[in-house]
Amino acid sequence: MARELNHFIGGKQVKGTSGRFGDVFNPTTGEVQARTPFATGGEVRNAVDSAQRAFPEWAAQNPQKRARVMFNFKALVEKHMDELAHMLSSEHGKVIADSKGDIQRGLEVIEFACGIPHLMKGEYTESAGTGIDVYSMRQPLGVVAGITPFNFPAMIPMWMFGVAIAAGNTFVCKPSEKDPSVPLRLAELFMEAGAPAGVLNVINGDKEAVDAILKDPDIRAVSFVGSTVVAEHVFTTGTAHGKRVQAMGGAKNHAIIMPDADLDQVVDDLIGAGYGSAGERCMAIAVAVPVTDKLGDELVKRLKPRVEALKVAPSTDPDANYGPMVTREHRDKVKAYIDMGVKEGAELVVDGREFRMQGYEKGFFLGGSLFDHVKPNMKTYQDEIFGPVLQVVRAKTFDEAAALPSKHQYGNGVAIFTRDGDAAREFAARVQVGMVGINVPIPVPLAYHTFGGWKRSAFGDVNQHGPEGVRFFTKIKTVTARWPKGGAREGSSFVIPTMR
């Protein structure tokens, strides 16, 4: 019988009361392993109330004390790394090594958040006017929330709550209903690290819970990662209710390959970045753009045997390149896109639709697929497929290649492979995409920089983690102070103050 998961509110596990549940699958076997409760608006409100009660005391803690909780939490997550990785893989399907990478990239933001005493410093101007000093301070917003996706159930929650809580806010997390166990376990470890009850709450649910978060008057800011359709809904609804919102959406990341590139390295990078985690990454390389047909012929010739040789296996297999997809519905959606690509006239060089994992026939497995001669007017090129499918779009010139990611509706990440520094520099400056890799296939910035796309890959003006994350989860207060000498009075002034 499938176990029943809970919410985490006020420092303890709380049973759901709605009577509505979602199935949590083991993607390797296709079996239901747990049920997650779908919260009512009232249960979301209980989590907000818990966070509100915790906020005054937590915000009043000096930043060093908050940083110490972050240090303790980091140590606990590292101690429980194997447990968390196996838990993550059992619900998501990604291989254990990839799950550990998921956790580690989240921990890097926690490490960044350990520096919050420095990051919260304001500015000070002595004697801005006669006897007048001006200074600013960063202060937390209050109760904030994060709505996180299935594909990184450890990393993205830590991206959000790490910075937010270190800055003095309290947090309500609504993880994906497809793989909620890791966020719940992280909340337990956060309590063990010394956080007061209510500082971090986890509420499970579907659209009802999301809309309750977006409309709750006491939630000051919402961070979101997911599909573009939902990101736009989160942004428009949240901002309409007076919230600060950052909403990261879909992607269609291109890799531009110049004729002078190291093709052996390019093929290695495309295989890893295109098929790792079954392509269920918002920073996966989905489109390879070789410049010239000669290079395109050679690239496809080298890619074909590598895609055919991909080892698709259960997530516990240490030799697997990638495991199953997260759900049967998502696997079938990706297969439908492959069907569509064939109908649109693209050349299906490698067909992964009929892959079956012996002994795991009910698992959500899909083999790697490779398309050549894909055209920009094809729907399969325009949409995010989010699976183990790499499309090759050929370009005749550098200018034609560079225009493809700039014109695409998505602008999350892009890469260029070349030995020509001038071409790389021009590309980085010209391309209309938020994150650029130069001979780097997945240009996810390090934690002390910032993550965010352009166009329909992101809604809102402030990116995630790094200094931008601190700015998002804090507000500036500026103080102008005057200390007259000897208590002297200057009388009333009816002119706007100036510093002359």
Contact 152, 161 (CB under 8 A): no
Residue pair 308/263 in contact by the 8 Å Cβ criterion: no
Cα(283)–Cα(279) distance, integer angstroms: 9
Sheet holding 132-140, edge to edge: 124-129, 132-140, 474-482
Residues 246 and 223: beta-carbon distance below 8 Å: yes
Has 282 been annotated as catalytic? yes
- Quote the tokens at residue 44: 């979301």
Letter string b/e over residues 280-294, b meaning 16 or more CB atoms within 10 A of that residue's CB? bbbbbbbbbbbbbee
**Which residue in the block uniquely carries the two structure tokens 């009388």?**
491
Q: How far apart are CA 209 and CA 224, in angstroms?
A: 13
**Residue 205 CB partners (closer than 8 Å, separation 6+):** 37, 38, 39, 43, 44, 174, 177
| Cα 128 from Cα 132, distance rounded (Å) | 6
Q: Indicate which residue of 261, 282, 287, 374 is catalytic.
A: 282
Question: What is the C-alpha to C-alpha distance for residues 421 and 243, in angstroms, rounded to an integer?
Answer: 43
CA dist list (Å): 379 to 374, 401, 407, 426, 457: 10, 19, 14, 29, 17
Task: Report the alpha-carbon distance of residue 237 to residue 67 in Å, rounded.
Answer: 33
Q: How far apart are CA 27 and CA 360, in angstroms?
A: 10
Residue (of 183, 184, 234) closest to 207 by Cα position: 234
Q: Let me know: does 88 contact 179? Beta carbons within 8 Å.
A: yes
Catalytic residues: 282
